[in-house]
Structure 1
Amino acid sequence: MSTTSQPGAGSPGNATVPGRPGLMLAMATLGFAVTFWAWALLGPLGSTLRERLDLTAFEQALLVAVPVLVGSLGRIPVGALTDRLGARTMFPAAAALTVLPVLFLGHLADSLTAYLIGGFFLGLGGTTFAIGVPFVNAWFPPERRGSALGVFGAGMGGTAIAAFSTVQLATAFGPAFPFDLVAGVLLAYAVVAWLVLRDRPDRTIAPGSVWTRLGAVLRLPATWQLSFLYAVAFGGFVAFSVYLPTYLTSDFDLEKADAAMRTAGFVVLAVAMRPVGGWLSDRFDAVKVLLAAYGLAVVLAVVAALRLPLVPVGTVAFLGLALALGLGTGAVFALVARLVPPERVGAVTGVVGAAGGLGGFFPPLVMGSIYGLTGSYTIGFLLLAATAAAAAALAGTVVRRRVAVPA
C-alpha cells in the first residue's frame, strides 16, 4: 500500500536532529502522564462520592468506569487522526480540551447524572496513549522501539499521581483543589507541547480518510490478537487502579486514605515494570515475556480469590499482579512495533488501546455486581485467572507463529 510523507528528511538514526528523539520521548511521556492524571481523578474519590451522593455499589462502579470507557473508545478515532495530523497538533489539543470536564467536575457537578456527564468528557484524557505511541514509534529505530515505547508507557503513572494525591489534596485544601491543580497543569503542558513538540519530518502518512484507514487496520488479524492481549494486561491494570480502593475499603475495612495509598503502590510498581517489559522484549522474546506475565497473573489471581490476610499474603499477591500486568503491557506494544507497518501504527494503536481500556471498563462493573449479589469478590478474581490463561494460550500459539513469520 502506498504512503505519502511530509517534506523533509531524516535518517532512521535521526542524525539530522541530534538529541531530538530523547526530548520528544520525554515530552510525550510527560503529556501521557498529565492527561492520565486527569483521566484517573474520579477513581480515588469513589468511596467519597458514594457517601455524598448515596450511591449503590453498581452506581459507584459505573461512575469511576465511564471515563475509562470513553477514553478507550476515543482512542480509535484519535489514533487515526494522529496518523494524519501528527502529535504536535493532537497532544496540545487533547490536553487543552480535557481542562473543560476537569473544571466542570471540580465546580459544577452535584449529582450522579452530572458526574456521569463530566466523567464522559473526562475520558478525552485517556485517549492520548494513541497519540504518543505512533509519535514515539516514528522517532526510534526498530531495535529500540520496545524500550522507547516502554518508557513512554510509564506515563500511565499519572494514575499513581491521582491515587497518591487526590484524596489528600481534597481533604487538606477542599474538594475542588485537585481539579483546579490538574486543570492548571494541563494548560501549562498544552502551551509547552505546542512550542516544543515536533513530528519527525519524514514520518510516513497513510493515505485515505480516517474511516478508510480504520477499515484497513480492522482487517489485520494482528490487530485483534494484540487487542485481546492488551485488554488483559492493560485492562487489568486499569481495573485495579480504579476499583482497588473500593475493594480494600469494603473487603478489608481500610480507611479511604490507606486504601488510596496502597492502590498508588500497586500503580507505581505496574508503571515501573512497563519499560522493563519493553526492554526485555527488545533483548529477548516478547512472547516469552507475555507467557511469564500471564502465567504469574493466573497464579496470583487465584491466590487473591482465596481472600487470605492482606498482610502479608494479599499484599504480595496484589503487588505481584502489578508486576505481571506491567510487564505484559510493555511486551504487547513491543509486538505492535514489530508486526504493524509504520504508517498504520497510530490507527492500530487506537484499536489496541481501546481494547485495553475496555478491558478495564467491565471488571469494576462485574466486581460491583458480584459483590452486590454474593458479598464476595471471589468469582471476579477467578474470572481474571481464566482470562489471563486464555491470553497466555493465544500468545504462545497464534501470536508466536505470527512473530516468527510477520504478516
Structure 2
Amino acid sequence: MTGTTAPRKGARWIERWDPEDPVFWRESGERTARRNLLYSVLSEHIGFSIWSLWSVMVLFMGPGYGIDPAGKFFLIATATFVGALVRVPYTFAVARFGGRNWTVVSALLLLAPTTAALLVMEPGTSYATFLAVAALTGVGGGNFASSMTNINAFFPLRKKGWALGLNAGGGNIGVPVVQLAALLVIGTAGAGHPRLLLAAYLPLVVLAAALALARMDNLAPVRNDTGAVRDAVRDAHTWIMAFLYIGTFGSFIGYSFAFGLVLQTQFGRTPLQAASLTFIGPLLGSLIRPVGGALADRFGGARITLATFVAMAAATGVVVLASVRESLPVFLVGFVALFALSGLGNGSTYKMIPGIFQAKALARGMDGEAAAAYGRRLSGAAMGLIGAVGALGGLGINLVFREAFLSSGTGTAAFVTFLGFYGACCAVTWAVYLRRPAAVIAKASGAAAKPQLTSV
C-alpha cells in the first residue's frame, strides 16, 4: 500500500522504505526491520494471551459458577468471534495511524478486558456479564492482523515467509504461555484464584506498550489504499486463501481455545489435569509456524500447504478413532499432531499470499520494483480479510464442539466434520495452486496471460 500524499512528520516516521533494494536492505533496512519485528512479536504475544484468556478461565469455573459445558464453549466462541471481526479494522489502522503508533494503542486496549475479567471473575456473576467480558477479549485477536500487516511492509518478498512466520509464531505462543500460567496458578493456589493470573498480565500489557512506543517505527509510504481494498475483495484468490486459512489458523485457534474443555468434558480430567496437558499442542503449533514459512520460502507455499492438509486429515482420523474408543493417550497423540500441523500450515499459507499477488503482477507484464509494489499493495489489503475469515474458523470449531456435546456428550461428530473439511482444503489447494495449468494460448484479442501459481 503506497501513496504519494504529503509526507508524515515525526521522530519515529521513516519516509523512504525500499526493502527490495539490496543496498538499502544491507545498509540499514534489515537492522530496522528486525528491531520492529522483535517488539511486534512481544505485543502480539500479549494480545494472543488475552484473546485466549477464556480458554483458561473456564478451567477455573467450577460447579459454583453454574455454567454447563455448552455455556463454556459459547463463552470461548464469543471471544473468537469478536477477535475475528476486529481484525478487519485493525488491518487498516496500521496505514491510518502508523505501525508503531497503532501497536501502542492496541496494546493499551488490552487493559480493558483484563481489568474487566479481574473484577467479575467469581461465582454469582451473571452469565450475561461473563459473555460481555469474553467479547471484550476479542481486541486481543485484532493485534494479529495489524501486526502482520505492519511486518509484511518491512520485509522483502524473499524474506516474508520467515518474517511473517516468526512474527505470527511468536504471537501464537501467547496461547500456551497463558495456559502454562494458569497451570501454575491452579497447581499452587488452586482453581479458586483466577484473579492471580489476571493481575499478572496487567503490568505485561503496559510493558509491551511502553517498549513499542520507545523502539518501533512508522513507515510513511504505507498508506490506506481504498482501491487496493476493492481489488482484494474482488480477487477470487483472497477468498480462496481465506478458506484455506480457516483450515490452518482456524484449526489452531479453535483447538487452542477448546482443548482443555474437551479434556474436562469428554475425558473427565480435573482442572489441574486439563491445564497440565492443554498447553502442549498450542506450544508446538506456535514454535513450528516459522518452520512452515521457511519451508514455503524454499519449496513453495502451496506444496507445503497441501502436504499439511493431507497430514491433518490423517491425524483427525486418529482422533476420531480415539474418541470412539475413549482412549486418552491415542487422543492426545492425534490432537497434538493436529496442533503441530496447523502451525506448519499457518506459516505456509501466509507465505502464499504475497507470492500470489506477485505472480499476478508478473502476468500483467510488470517486473522489478513495479511488481513488488503491486504485490505489497494487494497482499497488505488481502491479509486483513484473510486473517479475519480464518479466525472465524475458530468460532466454527467451538460451535461444532458445542453442538456435538449437546447432542451426544462426546466430540466424535465434531471431529468427523473437521475431517471432511480438511479433505475439501486438500482438493482446493491442489486444484487452484498445484494442478499444472494447460499452456496459455495467446488470443488475437490480446487476453491477459494467466499468472503461474504453481510455485507460490
Instruction: Please give the range of the TM-score, normalised by the shorter of the 2 chains.
Output: over 0.9
Q: 1:75 to 1:346 in 2, by over 3 A?
A: farther
User: For residues 346 and 111 of structure 1, what CA distance do their matches in structure 2 show?
Assistant: 41
The answer to whether residue 358 in structure 2 is matched with residue 351 in structure 1 is: no
Residue identity (%): 24
C-alpha contact (below 8 Å) 1:163/1:264 kept by paired residues: yes
Is the CA contact 1:35–1:125 (under 8 Å) kept in the aligned structure 2?
yes
Task: Judge which range, 107-116 or 88-97, deviates more.
Answer: 107-116
Q: Matches of 1:9 and 1:166 in 2, distance apart?
A: 45
2:228–2:377 Cα contact (<8 Å) kept = no
Q: Deviations over 1:24-77 (max 9, x none)?
A: 111111111111111111111214326332113221111112111111110011
Q: Is the Cα contact below 8 Å between 2:70 and 2:405 reproduced in 1?
A: no
- TM alignment of 1:202-221, pairs within 5 A: 203-208=221-226, 214-221=229-236
In structure 1, the partner of 2:279 is 264
Q: Is it true that 1:328 corresponds to 2:335 in the alignment? A: no
Asked which structure has the greater CA Rg, the reply is 2
Please say if residues 117 and 133 of structure 2, whose CA atoms lie closer than 8 Å, have aligned partners that are also in contact: yes
Alpha-carbon distance in 2 for matches of 1:41, 1:230: 22
TM-score by length of 2: 0.83
The corresponding residue for 2:453 is 404
Equivalence for 1:21: 33
Of the candidates 41, 48, 64, which is equivalent to residue 36 of structure 1? 48
- Residue 213 of structure 2: which of 194, 199, 203 is its match? 194
Map residues 3-402 of structure 1 onto 2, 5 A cutoff: 3-4=3-4, 6=7, 8-12=15-19, 13=22, 14=25, 15-17=27-29, 19-49=31-61, 51-108=63-120, 110-154=125-169, 155-169=171-185, 172=188, 174-201=193-220, 203-208=221-226, 214-306=229-321, 307=323, 308=325, 310=327, 312-340=329-357, 341-400=375-434
Q: 1:343 deviation in Å?
A: 2.6
Q: Report the alpha carbon displacement of residue 311 of structure 1 after superposing the two structures with TM.
A: 5.5
| Alpha-carbon separation, structure 2, partners of 1:73 and 1:28 | 21
Residues paired across the two proteins, number: 403
C-alpha separation in 2, matches of 1:232 and 1:196: 35
- Find the aligned partners of 1:170 and 1:379 in 2 and give their Cα distance: 31
Q: Is the 8 A contact 2:264 2:270 kept in 1?
A: yes
**Unaligned regions of 5+ residues in structure 1, if any?**
none
Q: Is the alpha carbon distance of 1:322 and 1:403 closer, same or farther for their aligned partners in structure 2, counting shifts above 3 Å?
A: farther
SS in 2 for 1:74: helix
- AA aligned to 2:356 is L
Shift of 1:405: 7.6
3-state SS in 1 of match to 2:388: helix
| Preserved contact between residue 133 and residue 345 of structure 1 (Cα < 8 Å) | no
Displacement of 1:372 in angstroms is 1.5
1:80 is displaced (CA, Å) by 1.7
Counterparts in 2 of 1:51 and 1:337: CA distance versus 1, 3 Å: farther
Which whole-Å CA distance do the structure 2 matches of 1:385 and 1:120 have between them?
Answer: 29
Instruction: State the Cα deviation string for residues 255-313 of structure 1 (Å, max 9, x = none).
Output: 22221221200011101111010000001111110111100111111111112464542
2:305 is matched by which residue type in structure 1? Answer: L
Change (3 A) 1:220 1:277: same
Q: Would the alpha carbon gap of residues 334 and 321 (structure 1) be closer, same or farther in structure 2, given more than 3 Å must change?
A: same
Structure 2: runs of 5 or more not aligned: 9-14, 358-374, 438-450
- TM-score for the superposition, normalised by structure 1: 0.93
Change in Cα spacing, 1:327 to 1:2, as seen in structure 2 (3 Å) is closer
